[in-house]
Amino acid sequence: NRRVTVHDLALAKQRGERWPMLTAYDALTARIFDEAGIPVLLVGDSAAMVVFGYDSTIPVTLDDLVPLTAAVSRAAKRALVVADLPFGSYQSGPEQALASAARLMKEGGAQAVKLEGGHRVTPQVEALTSAGVPVMGHIGLTPQSVNTLGGYRVQGRGHEAAETLLSDAKELERAGAFAVVLECVPARLGAEITRQLTIPTIGIGAGPDTDAQVLVWQDMAGLSPKVAKFVKPYSDLATQLRNAATSFADEVVSGVFPDEQHSYA
Ligand code: KIV
Ligand code: NA
């Protein structure tokens, strides 16, 4: 019943075992996913959108993410907790990346961090890794760069773009990353990068052949109002929650709730 480690994830790739990852931003959901056996929980900077209501991940800060990470870490007993380094918390260089990662680990209780980018962030990955911080890379559609990518669209189409992503992935592996997220790339490229890397790949919109799959939990559970093509909703929480709120409201207005059963004599 010990906690999942980056070593376990390396072994899973050697054994050809696929595994799931979900985002989490609070204690109750982290506990449910942990009990469901999800081995890796990501406190994503997607919190910017699904928790804080921004329309991109750019505005969210380390101060925003640290308490969410702490909540997830307190609740998850077995899952490896990975926290995103938000935009502006690592781009300045290795020292900034280390200071930011230290906050997510010391105050947030995370066991690993994730950052976006390939070649341009390998000095950060090297510094973090040699300081004992496991690093997850993230390439392809990197939402913190939405303003240079020109929108949320498939990346790595065409030979040159595919080669660039493959070499970014290899550079991250060489720099010491323990895994790499591939977001929104053609399935064939997802498969090719997965084949060429020793470390596990985690796909989101990267086809069926990556070593692992990740989704934002609100997308996975049908709570998000609109989702990308790569999302499969496994529940319809938006409808269920709306119905629950409507029933509660109706019963309060009509006086049905609270009844004797829910009152103190
Ligand atoms: O922030 C996030 O949720 C992520 C995952 C989608 C990989 O980075
Ligand atoms: Na993210």
Task: pLDDT band for 1, please (50, 70, 90 cuts).
Answer: confident
Task: pLDDT band for 236, please (50, 70, 90 cuts).
Answer: very high
Q: What is the pLDDT of residues 198-224, one digit of tens each?
A: 999 999 999 999 999 999 999 999 999
Using CB distances shorter than 6 Å, the residues near ligand 1 are: 23, 42, 44-46, 84, 138, 181, 204, 214, 216
Backbone angles phi, psi at 84, to 5 degrees: -75, 140
Ligand 1 atom at minimal distance to the Cα of residue 21: 7
Residues of the chain with CATH 3.20.20.60: 6-234
Q: What is the pLDDT of residues 100-125, one digit of tens each?
A: 999 999 999 999 999 999 999 999 99
Nearest in space to 139 (alpha carbons), one of 178, 92, 113, 172 = 172
- Name the 3-class secondary structure at 37: coil
Q: What is the pLDDT of residues 69-102, one digit of tens each?
A: 999 999 999 999 999 999 999 999 999 999 999 9
Q: Which ligand is nearest to the CA of 47?
A: 1
Q: Look at residue 197 in the predicted model and tell me its pLDDT.
A: 98
Report the distance separating Cα 140 and Cα 47, nearest Å: 20
Q: What is the pLDDT of residues 28-68, one digit of tens each?
A: 999 999 999 999 999 999 999 999 999 999 999 999 999 99
Q: Which residues surround ligand 2, an ion (CB under 5 A)?
A: 44-45, 84
ipTM of the complex: 0.99
Q: Which of 29, 43, 45, 139 to mutate to test the pocket of ligand 1 (most atoms within 8 A of CB)?
A: 45
Class of domain 6-234 (CATH, top level): alpha beta
Taking a C-beta distance cutoff of 8 angstroms, is the pair 214, 38 a contact?
Answer: no
Backbone angles phi, psi at 258, to 5 degrees: -90, 145
Q: Which ligand is nearest to the CA of 182?
A: 1
- Mean pLDDT over each residue of the chain, to the nearest integer: 98
Q: Whose CA is nearest to atom 4 of ligand 1?
A: 44
Ligand 1 atom at minimal distance to the Cα of residue 216: 3
Residues taking part in catalysis: 183
Pairing state between β 135-140 and 179-183:
parallel
Which stretches within 38-186 are classed as H helix?
47-50, 62-75, 94-106, 122-130, 146-149, 159-175
C-alpha of residue 54 to centroid of ligand 1, in Å: 15
Q: Which of 40, 46, 89, 155 to mutate to test the pocket of ligand 1 (most atoms within 8 A of CB)?
A: 46
Report the distance separating Cα 159 and Cα 33, nearest Å: 38
Q: Which ligand is nearest to the CA of 25?
A: 1
Q: Is pLDDT above 90 for 150?
A: no
Q: Is pLDDT above 90 for 162?
A: yes
pTM above 0.90, yes or no: yes
The answer to whether 168 is a known ligand-binding residue is no
